[in-house]
């Protein structure tokens, strides 16, 4: 499949998920729906962490994890660039995003799409990375400020000098 075909297929899946999420939020309330969304992502993070631990062994380095996370983003159609990576952090800039575009296609507003990304990515990737190495954290550093703008994701060693450990959780 071409990159565009992967992007379009993923976008359609997330459009269906966005429509489903909207229906659930109307039924049980937005906060409860977001909590369930985060719980499901955390469960996926546990499963992914176990698989990666088998593949990478104990405590893989940030550069290896950065390359793997970029490859994972690309595999679902996110236009993702690893803009900086060293032994203490990896920063990604993600432009075209089938999740965001799918959520919007599924009828969700920008605020809800952002909440899904904030809570889902933090739960899944945070849980996965903590399983691999408790000193590594994930956060969505910058959420797109406009539909065609980029998001920035970062993974860091929370014990790295100059890093705010609390700043990587719950953004």
The residue extents of the domains of the chain are 3-168
* One-character DSSP codes across 117-151: HHHHHHHHHHHHHHHH-TTEEEEEEE--SSTTS-E
pTM confidence score: 0.85
Q: Is the pLDDT of residue 20 over 90?
A: yes
State residue 167's pLDDT score: 43
3-state secondary structure 46-115: HHHHHHHHHHHCCCCCHHHHHHHHHHHHHHCCCCEEEEEECCCEEEEEECCCHHHHHHHHCCCCHHHHHH
State residue 146's pLDDT score: 84
Q: Determine the angle formed by the axes of helices 110-132 and 30-56, rounding to 10 degrees.
A: 30
Mean pLDDT of 33-57: 94
64 Ramachandran zone, left/alpha/beta (phi>0; psi -120 to 50)? alpha
What band does 147 get if pLDDT is binned at 50, 70 and 90?
confident
User: Do residues 101 and 113 lie in contact, with contact meaning Cβ atoms separated by under 8 Å?
Assistant: no
The Cα–Cα gap between 169 and 128 comes to: 14
What letter does residue 29 receive in the DSSP assignment? -
Please state, rounded to an integer, the average pLDDT across all residues of the chain.
Answer: 89
State residue 145's pLDDT score: 82
What letter does residue 77 receive in the DSSP assignment? T
Q: What is the pLDDT of residues 101-123, one digit of tens each?
A: 999 999 999 999 999 999 999 99
Query: 């860091």: which residue's tokens?
Result: 156
Give me the percent of the chain exceeding a pLDDT of 90.
71
Name the CATH topology of 3-168: Muramoyl-pentapeptide Carboxypeptidase; domain 2 (3.30.1380)
């Amino acid at each position: 499949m071409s990159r565009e075909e992967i992007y379009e297929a993923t976008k359609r899946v997330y459009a269906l998920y966005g429509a489903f999420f909207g229906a659930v939020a109307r039924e049980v309330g937005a906060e409860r729906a977001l909590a369930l969304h985060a719980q499901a992502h955390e469960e996926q993070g546990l499963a992914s962490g176990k698989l990666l631990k088998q593949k990478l062994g104990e405590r893989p380095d940030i550069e290896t994890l950065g390359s793997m996370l970029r490859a994972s983003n690309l595999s679902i159609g996110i236009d993702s660039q690893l803009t900086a990576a060293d032994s203490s952090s990896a920063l990604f800039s993600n432009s075209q995003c089938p999740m965001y575009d799918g959520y919007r296609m599924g009828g969700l507003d920008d605020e809800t799409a952002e909440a899904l990304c904030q809570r889902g990515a933090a739960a899944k990737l945070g849980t996965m990375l903590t399983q691999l190495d408790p000193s590594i954290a994930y956060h969505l550093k910058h959420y797109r400020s406009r539909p065609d703008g980029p998001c920035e994701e970062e993974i860091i060693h929370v014990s790295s000098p100059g890093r705010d450990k609390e700043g990587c959780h719950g953004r």
